Amino acid sequence: MTSMEPRMKILIGMALGLLWAATALAIEEDLMVVHVDELVIDDSLTLKKVVDTTFERYPQNALIEAFQEEARALEQRSSSWVAGYPMLYLQYIDDALFGHDEGITNVQSGYQIPLWMWGQRDASQRVTDQSKQAVERYVRALKHEVAGLVRDSLWTLRLVENRRELARQIYDVAEKLTAVVQRRVELGDLAR
pLDDT at 162 over 60: yes
Alpha-carbon span 156 to 131, nearest angstrom: 37
Q: Which ranges in the chain belong to alpha helices (H)?
A: 4-31, 47-57, 62-78, 120-187
Name the band, by pLDDT with cuts 50, 70 and 90, for residue 145.
very high
Percent of the chain with pLDDT over 90: 45
What pLDDT shows up at residue 22?
A: 64
Of residues 165 and 33, more confidence is placed in 165
Alpha-carbon span 55 to 59, nearest angstrom: 9
Name the DSSP letter for residue 190: S
pLDDT at 94 over 90: no
Alpha-carbon span 52 to 150, nearest angstrom: 10
What pLDDT shows up at residue 33?
A: 59
Q: How far is CA 71 from the centre of its chain?
A: 24
Asked if 111 contacts 86 with a C-beta cutoff of 8 angstroms, the reply is yes
Residue-wise pLDDT tens digits, 111-142: 988 888 899 999 999 999 999 999 999 999 99
pLDDT at 7 over 90: no
Q: Cα angle vertex 118, ends 115, 123, to 5°? A: 95
Alpha-carbon span 61 to 33, nearest angstrom: 31
Q: Going by C-beta distance under 8 Å and a sequence separation of 6 or more, which residues neighbour residue 91? A: 106, 107, 108, 109
Residue type (1 letter), 7: R
Q: Cα angle vertex 139, ends 133, 144, to 5°? A: 125
**Most confident of the ranges 11-20, 25-34, 87-96, 133-142:** 133-142
Asked if 125 contacts 78 with a C-beta cutoff of 8 angstroms, the reply is yes
Of residues 142 and 15, more confidence is placed in 142
Q: Which residues of 77-106 are buried (b: 16+ CB within 10 A; e: fewer)?
A: bbeeeeeeeeeeeeeeeeeeeeeeeeeeee
User: How large is the average pLDDT for residues 158-170?
Assistant: 92
